[in-house]
Amino acid sequence: MRRVIPVLDVQQGRLVKGMQFGDLQDAGDPVAAGCLYGEMGADALIVLNIGSDPAYHDQFLDQVSRLAACCQVPVIAGGGVKDETSFGDLLEAGATAVSVASAAIRDPGFVERLAKEFGSDQVLASVDARWAGTGWRVHTDGGRRSTELYAIEWCQRLQSLGAGQLMLVSMDRDGTGAGFDTDLVRYVVEKVEVPVIVAGGAGRLEDFVDACKAGASAVTAASLFHFRSLTIHEVKDALCQEGFGVVEQDLLS
């Protein structure tokens, strides 16, 4: 089964969307959007506190709690998760899994500890990658800092440390509508066994199909759904027409 997952980037309590990790635009209320996506057939939601502003920490936890209560699909939450306490806070708020990114790079043992304490199924490791001429380099801190890590090897390491699923984000494609980086997806999927969620670049129905053909377990979109360029139903229908199984739900157009 292939999953279709809207991504909700939250900054200072508001739903935002930009291009290549910048030029953010307000896209409304994240809770209202997430609840609507649940009604429209989303298989899960990914909600990320991209600002990680401590002043909005409690508000974000409340938003995760309200989303978990209203949308009746799994909620994966993240953003600024730096320790076991912040990880556990999101689970307590209602998240079914929590995304970790920069903290895992600074301390790879963090992923291992989380997997042992909470279970691998609740650990989603997110990898922000950008092409660097000889491979895809991993970035931290919302894409602001490049590392010496290469995405394919880092994904393998994250799996070995206990991450139960991966989210692969193409920084080059983010918000461009140019399509997912299927080369990156294919290379990673060939090297890992855990589910791979892909993000960054969806612009047409064919892009979702191409990502699944490359091996993605789940496909995501943000602005396409936020601004009603495509619906979840249309994406699922396109995948079904290409022979990919999807979760059948009563979908609103």
- Residue 26 annotated among the catalytic residues of the structure: no
AA letter at 80: G
Instruction: State both tokens at 40.
Output: 């429209």
Helix or strand holding residue 236 (H, E): helix 232-241
Instruction: State both tokens at 114.
Output: 């989380």
The residue among 243, 208, 248 whose CA lies nearest residue 224 is 208
Give bridge partners of residue 145 from the DSSP assignment: 140
Candidate list 89, 128, 181, 210, residue with the active-site label: 128
Candidate list 9, 89, 181, 210, residue with the active-site label: 9
- Residue 9 annotated among the catalytic residues of the structure: yes
Contacts of residues 139-146 at CB distance under 8 Å and 24 or more positions apart, as own/partner, are: 139/171, 140/101, 140/102, 140/105, 140/106, 141/102, 142/21, 142/50, 143/20, 143/21, 143/171, 144/21
Instruction: State both tokens at 14.
Output: 């508001």
Query: What's the CA gap between 37 and 120, in Å, rounded?
Result: 26
Quick check: 230 and 206 in contact, CB under 8 A?
no
CA of 248: how far to CAs of 3, 39, 79, 245, in Å? 10, 12, 30, 9
Which residues are designated catalytic? 9, 128
